[in-house]
Chains A and B, each alone.
Chain A
Amino acid sequence: MAQAQPLVPQLDRTALISAEKTRYARRQLTNTIASGLMFFLTAVSVSVLFIILAYIFINGISTLFPVVDGHLTFNLDFFIKPPESNLDGTTGGGVAQAILGTIEILIVAGIIAVPLGVGAAIYLSEYGTGFLVNTLNFTIDLLAGLPSVVVGLFVLAAFIGNLALIKIFPHFAGLAGSFALIIVMVPIIARSVEQILRLVPDSLREAGLALGMPKWRVILQIVLPTVAGGITTGIMLSLARAAGETAPVLLTILGQQFISTDLLQPMDALPIRIYKYATTGQPDLIPKAWAGTMVLVIVIALFSIAVRYVTGRNRYDA
């Protein structure tokens, strides 16, 4: 054994080290280029958002904070008054009826869409099995992917006016808008809540069941509280999405120049007001469209921030 061959053949170590150094330098260069490219692509995608936001703010800020006699003022009328026509032909007031309308329609839609969506999510995640769940999931995906104009048209054709399939509303009405937004919201809530429920470890459900709790109590009192934050996220996201939907409300609630809180009458909503101001061609209404956009964007941003805040504190949330 004394003259045994070395297991590793003797190699030129210096050459090996120098070759490895070259390879290392090349790897570093590739890495730098690749990560630089990824950063650039990310920056491009994100910058679009910032460009849009900046553009909205530049155009909207002068309406919300007009400079009167050299002083910066706050245009409270924009928030608390409906559109007004002044004697000199200019327009005053703002979007109060649209803000009220959006809030009212969203609340009604939410009251119905949240239990529907959460209920569907609970069924899909906790009870359903096999083929049925796959079919239902596919249906929900289709529903979520439905163009929102189709939703608006459907509610219009099915429920509004004398030619409707089931005549619920004689004319455009706020409640019809809620109907349309329910169709928009339910698949979003169902999908996001189902995903969140699937994150709850089975060990928690088993702990409850092994204590002799009925399954429904395990779901209601163990599973749901554990992901309360995540469920709130799903609901908030669906509300933010619904708040910005234009076509479904335009085709169902028509729009309204005056403050009206009657859900059976035509109502206004922020996206409708923006759409109408932006398309009238009247020069002094364009800034109001920008200001309305700014309000809408801020509202949706607040929703998202609230979502972040809520989810930041929970363990099993997405």
Chain B
Amino acid sequence: MTLSAVPKVATHEAHATHERTAARLTVNHLSAYYGSSLAVGDVTIEFEPNKITALIGPSGCGKSTLIRCLNRMHEVIRNARAEGEVILEGENIYSPDADPVRLRRRIGMVFQKPNPFPTMSIFDNVIAGLKLNAGTHRGVDYGAIVENSLRQAALWDEVKDKLKQSGASLSGGQQQRLCIARALAVEPEVLLLDEPCSALDPIATLKIEELLQQLVEKYTLIMVTHNMQQAARCSEKTAFMLADEKRVGRLVEYSQTSEIFTRPKDKRTEDYISGRFG
């Protein structure tokens, strides 16, 4: 693992005292492996705060693997590991003394399939990340946090009268917004979305997309999407990834979304966005 050349700036405690802001995330020469096979090779990219960055590319290009490396969820898979640097506001999250558990409270994640905790109520789902963290929680006003998070996720009006019901009783789109609310309750600085709409119908998708436009005012949003129209509709910047002949995912092109979709610099990007493959 490459050691961080960047000095550690802030500890988590220091971070916790000041107001939460969207964070800048810089990826330097990141490679991700499953066992001995390289899945994502040498990606260098910078995600800017208060912007939606879309990661697009055909299946198997490593976009999900890349996004999972950003909050160290990649290594949760058996035999999976990553090399390189991911710098969150000056701190390398892959430095040996970085704690992945703490990191994941700063970089939240929403998955492809809505995955509310089936044994918990809507209320408990939202505060699960806070409640099940280590440490004491005396004097925490959970009610306010739940309302605030659900409002941010544009779900409050739909569920405010049934907070005690199971999270599994909601529709797919509502479940996904519940998962967003759950991630927001922890007050992250970056929110990773791994194809958040691919299991949803068009109306639920539209709602999530509108929601993202509001959330971008407070968070750094990085979204993997299979859907080029979605990337074009909601993102400010777009990164195009493609697997090379050895099936290693590479970053091909990264720039303003408008540039990517109107004046792609790389031939492969042009072929992909014009629907010639993928």
Interface set of A (CB-CB < 8 Å, partner B): 129, 201, 203-214, 217-218, 221-222, 225-226, 228, 315-316
Contact = CB atoms under 8 A, between A and B. Distances in A.
A211 B115 contact: no
Given A208-B128, A210-B73, A226-B118, 4 more contacts: A201-B115, A210-B71, A212-B102, A212-B103
Residue of A209, A210, A222, A228 ringed by the most chain B CB atoms within 10 A = A210
28 contacts: A129-B78, A201-B115, A203-B111, A206-B76, A207-B111, A208-B132, A210-B71, A210-B73, A210-B108, A210-B183, A211-B108, A211-B128, A211-B129, A211-B132, A211-B182, A211-B183, A212-B101, A212-B104, A212-B186, A213-B132, A214-B133, A214-B134, A217-B132, A218-B132, A225-B119, A226-B117, A226-B118, A226-B119
A213 B104 CA distance: 8
Interface of B: 71, 73, 76, 78, 101-106, 108-109, 111, 113, 115-119, 128-129, 132-134, 179, 182-183, 186
A210 B71 CA distance: 8
Contact of B113 (A203, A210, A221, A228): A203
Contacts of A207: 111, 115-117, 179, 182
Contacts, number: 75
Contacts of B119: 222, 225-226, 228
Nearest to A220: B132
A222 B117 contact: yes
Contacts of A129: 78
A201 B133 CA distance: 21
Contacts of B101: 209, 212-214
B105 A212 contact: yes
Nearest to A222: B117
Nearest to A224: B119
B111 A206 contact: yes
A98 B129 CA distance: 50
A233 to B, nearest CB: 16
B117 A209 contact: no
Contacts of B102: 212
A30 to B, nearest CB: 42
A206 B129 CA distance: 12
A210 B105 CA distance: 8
A263 B76 CA distance: 47
B178 to A, nearest CB: 11
Contacts of B71: 210
Residue of A211, A217, A218, A315 ringed by the most chain B CB atoms within 10 A = A211
Nearest to A203: B115
B133 A212 contact: yes
Contacts of B129: 211-213
Given A226-B119, A315-B118, A213 B73 contact: no
Given A211-B128, A211-B182, A214-B101, A206 B115 contact: yes
Residue of A212, A315, A316 ringed by the most chain B CB atoms within 10 A = A212
Contacts of A208: 117, 128, 132
B166 to A, nearest CB: 10
Contacts of B186: 211-212
Contacts of A226: 117-119
Contacts of B118: 204, 226, 315-316
A206 B182 contact: no
